[in-house]
Structure 1
Amino acid sequence: MPVWEKTGLTLSCHPVVPEHVALPWDAADDYLLSHASTQNTLTINDRHGALSCALSNRATTVINWHDSACACEATRRNHQSNQLALDAGQLILSEEQIPASTRQVLIKLPKNLEQLKFWLQCCRERLPADTRYLLAGMVKHIPVSWLNWLEKEAATYRQEQVVRKARLLELTFTPKPVSEDHWNGYQTDSGLTLSGLPGVFSRQQHDIGSRVLLEHTDLPFCGKVCDLGCGNGLLGLTLKQAHPQLDVTLTDDSWLAVRSAQHNARQNQLDVSVRHGDILTAVHETQDWIVCNPPFHDGHKQLTNIAERMFEQSAKALVSGGHLLVIANRHLPYAGKLRRLFQTVEVLSADSRFSLYLCQKR
């Protein structure tokens, strides 16, 4: 496992990523660590727990706010491999769990500005005006419009010099009243009303790939059906609406996605199960069908390893003769992987952008 020289920690990515593709830390983590104080700290978007591990050696309380079940597992593993204590209360999933005693917030900047705004809003609703915010990311991923918005929104704003292509901002904010205005949504062609929280895939509009898959709701779906990587619940809820007899489970790595799918199931009065977990770790029942619109980005990196893990776990979770239905961007090299895992792989439709694969288990 690679060693973070600045800290002496041995850290790994979960799921495993080749070192030449990504490490569990980057120059932005170095920058944050060099400016962090020993105050009670909340880390946000610390993908593999690198900052959390480094700060645990200091005289401070560190709380890790993760949306991702996979990130929670990575943080646990890296603490364990470095023989560092990690209490259950140090991993939180929702804004309601932010400790009022927090005086320092460290944020690795996300890919999506709406998600950053959500995190800051949640912190400002719960933390006092003297709370110190340190935000860092790689320069190429921070648009000038983000810097302008932050400078306008902050009570105090300081931008440090660029170091090793990383930028660090130190800010304070005036507190804000609690707001529930985080939801955004749309209505589907089948009449479902769907909403989503910031950072959830396709929260504001029906994505094109899912439209292609949902043109095939007349396939012979039966028994137990899982919407893997459900996002706001579009695929699973549409199938439940079209085939009320199905036993539908929706699952996602993102807690915000799970909350959104649960909300949408209630709003549309559809009886489904929604679960939070890394790939299929929260789904223990064998499935007759799995439908999937897999991601091919992890933050700013384009990777296929998440989708490949989805395919591998789906092959194990399906009954004999069960089906996996996958919609994917046509340029992604999924066909070969699917053919190695499944007895038959049929391309139901293909155009210049998407391919729809119907795979049957041996």
Structure 2
Amino acid sequence: MSAQAPACQLLERQQDNYAALWVIGPPMDSWLSDRSNGVVSGDHEVLAEWAAKGKQASSPFDVAKGEPLGKEVVLFWPKAHQLGIWWLKWLCEQLPSGTPFEIVGEHQGGIKRVPKMLEELGLPWEKRDNARRCTLFTSHTASLDSPSGASETAWQSFETLGLTLVSHPGVFGHGKVDEGTLLMLESLESSLPKKPLKVLDMGCGDGIVSAWLAKRGHHVTAVDISAFAAEACQRTLAANGLKGRVLCSDVFSALEDEQFDWIISNPPFHKERDISYGPSQRLISQAPEHLSTGGRLVIVANGFLPYPDHLQRAFQDFHILADNRRFKVYAANQLSR
């Protein structure tokens, strides 16, 4: 069992004040999932933990506007401040004006900047508690004037590789294209068969790989653990008039025994401020089960990451497609079943 998050330790000091607690964007924390009535999160893993305990769990894109939450709403301040601002705007659109809510976060995560951001939005604040290098603020919702919806303005469109990408602050590489992804697509240009393939884009982000593949006639399934990424990928495909299936999934969890001709990924190795190789290791170790005979896994990674060892264990055959010193593109072939 993982240690209780510092922000949750701070909330535990206040637990007698919570009778119907809903948490917004929280970390994985067993005390919190036991204590709260419901969760709204963009993280599929978090939603699964709350749902497994019989709690209400929704992504922000699945909650109807005006749908009531609990009596006490606590927003966990994220690492990305623009995402935090989006959550504040979402709460103001979601809840009646004047609804109280709290914001909690770690000092190293930037919680001390929150009062200024609240003031810029015209929202009041008071400091309620401070411990464990965390602070808890109180505020309440207000009407934010925006013709297209205040939270909708966070979406950003930009052009690259002949595609329109739609991005959100909650998605990896918001507003720009990752250098490693560009290197991978460059290497795929010459190695990807022209015939239509059934391709899985694992960790789709804003959908650049999915759109690039779909534009070339391939049948794309895109998955990401982030609901923000899944929504961004769907918007990117729509913006380019392309089709593809987009799912929220913790690596292969939503795909059962489905198999693909190719699996393509720029796997993450960060979760908030922590380095985590877990998802990428599961991607590599479980990929053979989801590749048809003769299928191929292609991943791009920072050159220092220990992926060759994992590829060697999972596949009999792998090689380097591209290497620009900062990033390496690996290809592993499924020779037999």
Task: State the TM-score, normalized to the length of structure 1.
Answer: 0.82
**1:355 correspondence with 2:337:** no
In structure 1, what is the Cα distance between the partners aligned to 2:304 and 2:29?
A: 32
Cα 1:295–1:200 shift into 2, 3 Å: same
2:178 is aligned to 207
Cα 1:129–1:266 shift into 2, 3 Å: closer
In structure 2, what is the Cα distance between the partners aligned to 1:130 and 1:41?
A: 18
* Same amino acid, percent of matched pairs: 25
Shift of 1:292: 0.2
Shift of 1:323: 0.7
In structure 1, what is the Cα distance between the partners aligned to 2:156 and 2:81?
A: 15
Secondary structure at 1:181's aligned position in 2?
Answer: helix
Cα 1:155–1:266 shift into 2, 3 Å: closer
1:159 is aligned to 127
In structure 1, what is the Cα distance between the partners aligned to 2:117 and 2:222?
A: 36
1:75 is aligned to 50
Shift of 1:39: 5.0
1:270 is aligned to 242
* Count of residues paired in the alignment: 324
In structure 2, what is the Cα distance between the partners aligned to 1:101 and 1:248?
A: 36
Is the 1:279–1:313 contact (alpha carbons within 8 Å) kept by the matching residues of 2? no
Secondary structure at 1:187's aligned position in 2?
Answer: strand
Is the 1:43–1:51 contact (alpha carbons within 8 Å) kept by the matching residues of 2? no
Shift of 1:151: 4.3
In structure 2, what is the Cα distance between the partners aligned to 1:220 and 1:198?
A: 31
Of 65, 83, 88, the residue aligned with 2:40 is 65
2:77 is aligned to 109
2:212 is aligned to 238
In structure 2, what is the Cα distance between the partners aligned to 1:334 and 1:207?
A: 19
**1:345 correspondence with 2:321:** no
1:196 is aligned to 167
In structure 2, what is the Cα distance between the partners aligned to 1:41 and 1:154?
A: 25
Shift of 1:316: 1.4
**1:119 correspondence with 2:94:** no
After superposition, residues 24-103 of structure 1 pair within 5 angstroms as 25-36=4-15, 37-48=17-28, 50=30, 52-56=32-36, 62-77=37-52, 79=53, 86-87=54-55, 90-95=56-61, 96-97=63-64, 99-100=67-68, 102-103=70-71
Is the 2:105–2:134 contact (alpha carbons within 8 Å) kept by the matching residues of 1? yes
1:61-81 alpha-carbon deviations (Å, 9 max, x no partner)? x2210212221222244x3xx
In structure 2, what is the Cα distance between the partners aligned to 1:153 and 1:297?
A: 30
Secondary structure at 1:320's aligned position in 2?
Answer: strand
Shift of 1:147: 4.2
**1:294 correspondence with 2:274:** no
Cα 1:114–1:129 shift into 2, 3 Å: same
Task: State the TM-score, normalized to the length of structure 2.
Answer: 0.88
Secondary structure at 1:278's aligned position in 2?
Answer: coil
Cα 1:201–1:210 shift into 2, 3 Å: same
RMSD: 2.2
Segments of 5+ residues of structure 1 without an aligned counterpart are 3-18, 57-61, 80-85
Segments of 5+ residues of structure 2 without an aligned counterpart are none
Secondary structure at 1:346's aligned position in 2?
Answer: strand
In structure 2, what is the Cα distance between the partners aligned to 1:108 and 1:329?
A: 30
